[in-house]
Chains A and B, each alone.
Chain A
């Protein structure tokens, strides 16, 4: 298995809803990442998990809450989002060493109404 799987592919949520994005990989990668991408912009790093521990939070608002239950799973819990949070959310994983590249999922297209 050489893929990163993200679910759901599309999500529409209200500003008072709570939802979660899910990311899964079975490549034995020990680092996992969340990125946010607005239209016509490059992906922006949000969080880095290394060996299931949060190692980097790029000053992301607390309405985004990451969770890494095990080495294969990464979740992003969403609560009280704003319409400007609508974006493509990308998950990626890597071996975690200095040379290893990232494998990206196909993303979750989130719309906040």
Chain B
């Protein structure tokens, strides 16, 4: 039931912005996009979420295209501690379920 597509892996230089794309072309109008990350088999950690508008918090920014078919998570100044698997999730509108896609393994390089 995963409804998202992400590149399997990405590298980013420390201190640079990390831009992680996600395709969710079948998203419905009332479905939210969530981003989580998982560091080394810990529990997934919430990063940010959005519906239509771009969002920013202390961790990241979320850019959602106008047609809502894709989004980009931006970590503005990546650090080594940002090395993790990042999951883009579309929350199912009719229920309470999160279905994880395969995620992007981000490696921040010194």
Contacts and interface: CB of A to CB of B under 8 A. Distances in A.
Contacts of A82: none
Given A42-B87, A101-B34, A94 B96 contact: yes
26 contacts: A33-B96, A42-B100, A42-B103, A43-B44, A44-B100, A45-B97, A45-B99, A48-B96, A55-B96, A88-B41, A90-B44, A92-B44, A94-B96, A98-B32, A98-B91, A99-B32, A99-B51, A101-B49, A102-B44, A102-B46, A102-B98, A104-B45, A105-B43, A106-B42, A107-B41, A107-B43
Overall SS of chain A's interface = strand
A76 interface: no
B101 interface: yes
Contacts, number: 60
A42 B98 CA distance: 11
Interface residues on A, range: 20 to 34
A4 interface: yes
